[in-house]
Amino acid sequence: MRVADARAPRFGPDSPQHSMRLLDLWEGPGGLRGFLGTVDHKRIGIRYIVTAFIFLLVGGLEALLMRLQLAGPNHTLLTPEQYDELFSTHGITMIFLYASPVLSGFSNYLWPLLLGSRDMAFPRANALGYWIYLASGIFLYVGFLSGHGANDGWFNYVPYALKPYNPGLNQDFYSLGMVFLGIATTIGAANFMVTALRTRAPGMSIDRLPILVWGTLTANAANLIVVPAVSLAFLMLWMDRQFGTHFFDNSNGGQPLLWQHLFWLFGHPWVYAIVLPAMGMVSDGLPVFCRRPLVGYSLVAVATVATMILGFGVWVHHMFATGLPGLGMSFFSAASIVITLPSAVAVFAWLATIWYGRPVITTAFLFFASMILLFVIGGVSGFMTASVPVDWQLTDTYFVVAHLHYVLIGINVFPVVGAVYFWFPKMTGRLLDERLGRWNFWTMFIGFNLAFLPMHLTGLWGMPRRVYTYAPDMGWNTLNLITSIGSFVFALGILLLMVNVWRSLRRGALAGANPWDAPTLEWSIASPPPVYNFAVIPTVASRHPLWEGRLEGSESRSTVDQGLLLDHGKEMIGTTALDAVPDMILEMPEDTLIPLLLTLGVSACFVGLILQVWWVLVLGALVGAAALLGWLWPRRALREREPLHG
């Protein structure tokens, strides 16, 4: 039977037969095969979130061990080597294995639902991204658990990372592990970019995108450009260590500062990439509980992009003590001060939304609102370090440790936990317990501030970073004790979150489609959503489809109960980039084990590289190449080729 190459997609309402047909088309195989081969963005998104939270807990345990060691002067709980591997692995785990993947997970789960679509643009690549993330995380932890954990901090300066000072496999696990993880980040970035620009619901023009989409899109566009810098740096480091090259070692013209430039060219945009999507979550979630649209949507969207663009131009502020010429440093200092402004736009937008709204204080609201204060505290300590001469005193002390925890926990963890309370009902069909939620929030909030607010003073009183112990006569004893106590209270708060999730999965109150009476498209479908998301593709006419008609003066009328049926196959609609006019019907791939197979091949490559057993490398490359060929082989079902003799 010849299949139509073009058609006018039918428009109409849902019906039981239609839903059955979609279920048939979209449901993959069950059992182990289905588990390993799924390309459903919802399942992949939840996997990212769960895995990221496991790494959060592991990284948290590492932190608690360190805080026990530092609770008083001259403790001997940990040897220097143990402490050094702990602080390094803690940073790496939190920044690379938790902060970015958890946001990828939420975005993966939510984007098609927010965009009125049935999946991401590249479902198979989506699966691949997760498997590679998992494999690289395991790779890094095999290093740590076998006594070869990274031991030079997360930014890993040379020459200490080079072989003469670091002969074990520690640095090799970190270097290769980062190159490995970078593959997942890049794949995810490509997926988000194409999804955002080409697979939205009809009518969802660029100025109707939820801010979460703006934040994630901006972050991933940046990742696409800067991840190669860090992958290259780590490849060069590995080669200096194992093959006698001289990129960084200055015995033959190598440049230790080249490492710092390459790393921070990546590292600074990266820290914006791990907060901008979370800020987007707040921008989308907070207004729901203020019962009104976000104040200044356009300004917030533009500020998101502006922050990221400016974020490319500040990396040298991590290098103010390296002896660079004053003129150059002045430029980066100025840029680092100026970048406060677009960041501040969101803060004022949120405050105005609360002030001019009618706040309803749920647990999600508490996390989203408190984040504003934590953001500002983290932001002003950043402002202080932006000034070169002040930074000469503040840098590499606990002041910076306080700063980075306020920005990372304040602008990533708190919004993420808020997002859990907000979207858990959509994902599972059940609400989290509100009473336990209050305990969760206050324990986390009090514990966090108890731990990290005094740390500013610890830094102003000169305690350097990355010290496994300190003398009793430096004036830091009480402050460190308070911080250690606070860290355990904070950990208790995280535990309460886990308890709430565990209990509510079984016994939480049923949520229904839209428990929060929220405006965006994901709340128009069942909780949890059917595998195909939308039985009919909605047509969008505003930023708040489900609030139209109730917002005074709003004339727009999106349609959610009627729309494109797209039931001739596993189909989605492709739309233009700016105005979201439908311009093609997309045929989507079935579940497949190929991404997993490709991951196994790539993993074998990295195992071969670290052990320098070359036949394993070659075998892995062959398996990977075969998997890739099978993946890219043109398929009729996806319309990548003509049917034979047709």
Partner 1 sequence: MAEPALASTSVIPVGPVGRRGLGWYGVGTLVITEAALFTYLLFSYYYTGATAGAGWVLEAQPTLKVALPNTVLLVASSFVAWWGERGVLLRRRPQALWGFGLAFLMGTVFALVQLYEWHSKPFSLGTSSFSSLYFLTTGTHEAHVAVGILVLASLFLWTALDYFSPRRRLSVSAGVLYWHFVDVVWLFVFATYYITPYLGFGR
Partner 2 sequence: MSTATPLAYLSAAGPRAGAIVPLTWFTLVVSILVCLIIGVLLWRGVRRGRAHASDVETRAVQITHGAPGIRWIRVGLLCSALPLLIALVWTMATLAAVSGPPQGAQLVLDVTGHQWWWEVTYSGAEPSQTFSTANEIHVPTRARVLVRLHGADVIHSFWVPKLTGKTDTIPGQTNLAWFEATAAGRYRGQCTEYCGAQHAHMGLEVVAESPGDFEHWRQLQLHPANEPTSAAQSRGRELVEFRCGLCHQVRGTSAGARSAPDLTHVAGRRTLAAGLLPNNPGTLSGWIENPQGFKPGTLMPNQGLTGQQLSDVVAYLETLR
| Binding residues for partner 1 restricted to 178-237, rule: CB under 8 A | 186, 189-190, 193-194, 197-199, 202-203, 224-229, 231-232, 235-236
Residue 78, phi then psi, degrees to nearest 5: -125, 145
Give dist(CA 258, CA 613) in Å, integer. 30
- If the CB atoms of residues 67 and 570 are measured against partner 2, the closer one turns out to be 67
The answer to whether the beta carbons of residues 527 and 432 sit under 8 Å apart is no
Read off the DSSP letter of residue 93.
I
Q: Kindly state the smallest distance separating residue 8's Cβ from partner 1, in Å.
A: 4
Query: Two tokens at 582?
Result: 């439908």
Considering only residues 300 through 329, tell me which ones interact with partner 2, judged by CB under 8 A. 321-323, 326, 329
Considering only residues 506 through 545, tell me which ones interact with partner 1, judged by CB under 8 A. 539, 541
Considering only residues 602 through 631, tell me which ones interact with partner 1, judged by CB under 8 A. 625, 629
Considering only residues 250 through 289, tell me which ones interact with partner 2, judged by CB under 8 A. 250, 254-257, 288-289
Q: Kindly state the smallest distance separating residue 76's Cβ from partner 2, in Å.
A: 10
Q: Does the protein bind partner 1 through residue 581 (CB under 8 A)? A: yes
Q: For residue 67, how many C-alpha atoms fall within 13 Å in the half-sphere facing its CB? A: 24
Q: Does the protein bind partner 2 through residue 549 (CB under 8 A)? A: no
Which among 233-241, 455-463, 570-578, 590-598 is the span making contact with partner 2, rule CB under 8 A? 455-463
Task: Provide the 10 A C-beta neighbour count for residue 473.
Answer: 8
The partner residues of 537 in beta bridges, in order of sequence, read 564
Query: Which residue from 57, 65, 169, 384 is in contact with partner 2, where contact means CB under 8 A?
Result: 384
Considering only residues 553 through 572, tell me which ones interact with partner 1, judged by CB under 8 A. 557-559, 563-564, 568
Plot region of 527 (φ>0 → left; ψ -120 to 50 → alpha; else → beta): beta
Terminal CA-to-CA distance of the chain, rounded, Å? 10
Query: Which residue from 199, 362, 449, 599 is in contact with partner 2, where contact means CB under 8 A?
Result: 362
Q: Does the protein bind partner 1 through residue 585 (CB under 8 A)? A: yes
Give dist(CA 456, CA 385) in Å, integer. 12
Q: Kindly state the smallest distance separating residue 491's Cβ from partner 1, in Å.
A: 38
- If the CB atoms of residues 173 and 523 are measured against partner 2, the closer one turns out to be 523
Residue 489's binding partner among partner 2, partner 1, none (Cβ under 5 to 8 angstroms by kind) is none
Query: Which residue from 181, 586, 602, 617 is in contact with partner 1, where contact means CB under 8 A?
Result: 586
Query: Which residue from 388, 409, 411, 537 is in contact with partner 2, where contact means CB under 8 A?
Result: 388
The answer to whether the beta carbons of residues 549 and 176 sit under 8 Å apart is no
Q: Kindly state the smallest distance separating residue 385's Cβ from partner 2, in Å.
A: 9
Considering only residues 551 through 610, tell me which ones interact with partner 2, judged by CB under 8 A. 551-554
Query: Which residue from 467, 578, 613, 618 is in contact with partner 2, where contact means CB under 8 A?
Result: 467
Query: Which residue from 27, 239, 305, 396 is in contact with partner 2, where contact means CB under 8 A?
Result: 396
Residue 609, phi then psi, degrees to nearest 5: -70, -45
Which among 175-183, 464-472, 499-507, 600-608 is the span making contact with partner 2, rule CB under 8 A? 464-472
Query: Two tokens at 605?
Result: 């490559």
Helix (H, G, I), strand (E, B) or coil at 12: strand
The dihedral formed by the CA atoms of 485, 486, 488 and 490, expressed in degrees to the nearest 10: 170
Query: Which residue from 68, 258, 384, 460 is in contact with partner 1, where contact means CB under 8 A?
Result: 258
Question: Of the candidates 591, 603, 632, 531, which has an alpha carbon nearest to the alpha carbon of residue 36?
Answer: 591
- Radius of gyration of the chain from its Cα atoms, rounded to whole angstroms: 25
Residue 559, phi then psi, degrees to nearest 5: -120, 130
Q: Kindly state the smallest distance separating residue 100's Cβ from partner 2, in Å.
A: 24
151, 255, 565 from 199: Cα distances, Å: 43, 45, 15
Q: Does the protein bind partner 2 through residue 401 (CB under 8 A)? A: no
Q: Does the protein bind partner 1 through residue 316 (CB under 8 A)? A: no
